[in-house]
């Protein structure tokens, strides 16, 4: 796949660094950056916890799915940070894989717990995190590249992504 005309999607669990790294990567590539959670908050005028609280998770997922489709259809190649649960939806996973390169930012549970502010993530309080992560891993592992962010800085992760993107043609050809 020629990635230069495609989106670059970052997936992974809450706290894996998708937003911070996505911004840095977009800067380096001189591309627009979109964070699906930020977009949902902007469109709805409400915070993610407020949406969960008032309308429930199914409504949040409906908005998230529609947004992923809309972003995927945009023909300006962007860097996109996906919400941690978005790829549980099979159609979203297919759309993402068809329209870009998917990178999984992996992270240890210890680091996730250190990094995440539970008040901003409704599921952080209510779900058993390891179970939740295990449910998500099959989707995350559909990525073309998996990068462990547990012990490296966002800048180092971004640098690794840049190096990988320069090599990506041969990497992807090998994985086909
Ligand atoms: C969620 C992750 C959050 C946000 C929402 C649900 C999840 O995004 O979409 O709180 O289901 O894992 P981040 O992965 O950006 O934290």
**pLDDT at site 169:** 61
Half-sphere exposure of 65 (CA within 13 A, CB side): 13
Q: From the CA of 155, how far away is ligand 1's center (Å)?
A: 22
Which helix (H) or strand (E) is 148 found in, with range?
strand 145-148
Gap from CA of 45 to ligand 1 centroid (Å): 17
pLDDT in tens, 128-175: 889 999 999 999 999 999 999 999 999 999 999 999 998 876 555 555
Q: Is 37 in the pocket of ligand 1 (CB under 6 A)?
A: yes
Helices (H), 5-108: 18-29, 36-44, 48-55, 57-73, 90-99
Ligand 1 mutation target, pool 22, 39, 44, 83, most atoms within 8 A of CB: 83
Q: Report pLDDT for 3.
A: 74
Q: What is the mean pLDDT of the chain?
A: 92
Q: Which of 13, 60, 123, 139 to mutate to test the pocket of ligand 1 (most atoms within 8 A of CB)?
A: 123
Looking at residue 173, its pLDDT comes to 56
pLDDT higher than threshold 60 for residue 111: yes
């Amino acid at each position: 796949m020629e990635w230069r005309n495609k989106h670059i999607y970052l997936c992974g669990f809450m706290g894996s660094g998708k937003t911070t790294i996505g911004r840095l990567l977009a800067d380096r590539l001189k591309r627009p950056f979109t964070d699906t959670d930020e977009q949902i908050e902007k469109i709805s005028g409400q915070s993610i916890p407020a949406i969960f609280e008032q309308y429930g998770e199914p409504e949040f997922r409906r908005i998230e799915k529609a947004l992923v489709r809309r972003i995927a259809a945009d023909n300006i190649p962007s860097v996109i940070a996906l919400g941690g649960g978005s790829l549980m939806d099979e159609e979203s996973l297919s759309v993402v894989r068809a329209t870009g390169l998917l990178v999984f930012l992996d992270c240890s549970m210890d680091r996730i717990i250190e990094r995440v502010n539970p008040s901003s993530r409704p599921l952080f309080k209510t779900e058993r995190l390891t179970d939740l992560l295990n449910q998500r891993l099959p989707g995350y592992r559909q990525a073309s590249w998996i990068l462990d962010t547990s012990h490296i800085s966002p800048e180092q992760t971004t640098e690794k992504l840049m190096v990988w993107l320069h090599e990506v043609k041969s990497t992807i050809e090998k994985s086909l």
